[in-house]
Each structure stands twice: as C-alpha cells, then as structure tokens.
Structure 1
Amino acid sequence: MSTSQPDASAPSDDRATPDSLLHTGAGGAVTAEDLVLAAGRDINPRNLAWAERKLKEEGPAALDKLLP
C-alpha cells in the first residue's frame, strides 16, 4: 500500500482558510452554557455560575476571548 499520493481531503498549504470557517458567526445571544462548553468545561452548577459572572462582566466578548 503506497502513501506517496497526497490525501485529497487534506487542506492545501497554498490556499487561505475561508473567512466563514474562521469565525463562529453566532448571531444570537451567548448563553452561560455556550461559554462553559467553549472553555472545555463540564456543564455543572459551579461552571454555570462562573460563566454567568463572566457574561455579566464582559458580555458576549467573553465567548470571543475563548474562541480562536
């Protein structure tokens, strides 16, 4: 079995990533659950309280800070 041919599904190094793939595009309200999941945490009362505090302090920008 030869692996000399490049994988057609692999991204090419000579093309830029489309802008639509770089941003979440979330137009709706950011919830505490969204923030917890974006932080890679489990949804539980402690983490939800943390997320609610962050959202109160930073607003939707709290989510933007966690996402690439």
Structure 2
Amino acid sequence: MSTSHSGASQPSQDRATPDSLLHTRTGTDVSPEDLVLASGKDLTPRNLEWAQRKLDQEGPAALDKLLP
C-alpha cells in the first residue's frame, strides 16, 4: 500500500517565494500608479497626488521601501 499523496509532487502553498524571484522594479520608471498599487491603496486622485509627492521626494526608492 502506497503512503504517497496524489498532490505530494506539487509545491506547498505555504512556502515563501525565493528571494531570486522577488523583484521590486523592472528597470523602468516608477509611476505614481505603481506606487499607489504597491501600497495597497485605491487609484484615486488623492492617492495619486500622495504618490507623486513621495516620488518627487524619494525617487524610485519610494517603491523599494514598500516592497520586499
């Protein structure tokens, strides 16, 4: 009698993503929309203004601070 499970060869859902697969930027410019979405906020005029101010102050590093 086999003790293996049918899903044993599939990756576990509770495993962390390897560092080599985590990326905060793709080498392209960071937009206010990117910053708002990365922060988990809705795309509203107020949030876009917040993101633009943050980008003006911190540059692309603002996105790095939000993401791993």
**Taking structure 1 as the reference length, what is the TM-score of the superposition?**
0.75
Distance 1:25 1:46 in 2: 24
Q: Give the gaps of 5 or more residues in structure 2.
A: none
Root-mean-square deviation (CA, aligned residues, Å) is 2.3
Distance 2:58 2:22 in 1: 22
Establish whether residue 61 from structure 1 lines up as the match of residue 39 from structure 2. no
Percent of aligned pairs sharing the same letter = 57
Distance 2:59 2:29 in 1: 10
Distance 1:67 1:32 in 2: 15
Of structures 1 and 2, the one scoring higher in RCO (CA 8 A, sep 6+) is 2
- Corresponding letter in the other structure for 1:43: L
Paired position in structure 1 for 2:12:
10
**Taking structure 2 as the reference length, what is the TM-score of the superposition?**
0.75
Q: Give the gaps of 5 or more residues in structure 1.
A: none
C-alpha distance after superposition, 1:3-49 (max 9, x if no partner): x73361327x7xx8251x12234110000000000000000100000
* Number of equivalent positions: 61
**Runs of 4+ off more than 2 Å:** 4-7
